[in-house]
Amino acid sequence: MHELSIAQSLIALIEDEMAKHGKKTLLTVKIKHGRLSAVVPEALEMGFTALTMDTRLAGARLELEEIPVVLRCRACSREFTPEGSSAFAPCPGCGEELGHAVVSGRELYIEYLELE
């Protein structure tokens, strides 16, 4: 389950931020994840809860928002969002199926932290 290692890296980042700002409590963490990063929100939440249990991060609210996939066609440069969650999809403009550039959808980052 790769969500557990994602949760681990997020917690390390959060701890860094808290130390930097001298904060003691994490209230909310908002995470944006691209559809191609294949994060299962429930699994990430479970991992986060399990790993923060009995730590000062316990009880924080985890908000997740998915970023849709946007591809740019190799042949005609049109940008489009494929229906599935794959980067292999025919371009609605010219039908080209392979070699599209991924404009967005691979992101995984913390959008904001609410600390106290």
Residues in contact with Zn ion by CB under 5 A are 73, 75-76, 78, 91, 93-94, 96
Dig out the tokens for 42 from the structure.
Answer: 């429930």
- Minimum separation from the CB atom of position 75 to Zn ion (A): 5
Nearer to Zn ion, 32 or 78 (CB): 78
Q: Which is nearer to Zn ion, 94 or 101 (CB)?
A: 94
Question: How near is the Cβ of 67 to Zn ion at its closest, in Å?
Answer: 22
Tokens 């681990």, located at residue = 8
Query: What is the nearest approach in angstroms of Zn ion to the Cβ of residue 36?
Result: 19
SS3 category, 28: strand
CB of 50 to Zn ion, least distance (A): 44
Order of strands across the sheet that contains 101-104 = 79-80, 70-72, 101-104
Nearer to Zn ion by C-beta: 94 or 110?
94
Query: Residues 6 or more apart from 103 whose CB is under 8 A from it?
Result: 70, 71, 72, 79
Q: Within 10 Å of residue 31's Cβ, how many Cβ atoms?
A: 24
Radius of gyration of the chain (CA): 18
- Rank residues 58 and 98 by Cβ distance to Zn ion and give the closer one: 98
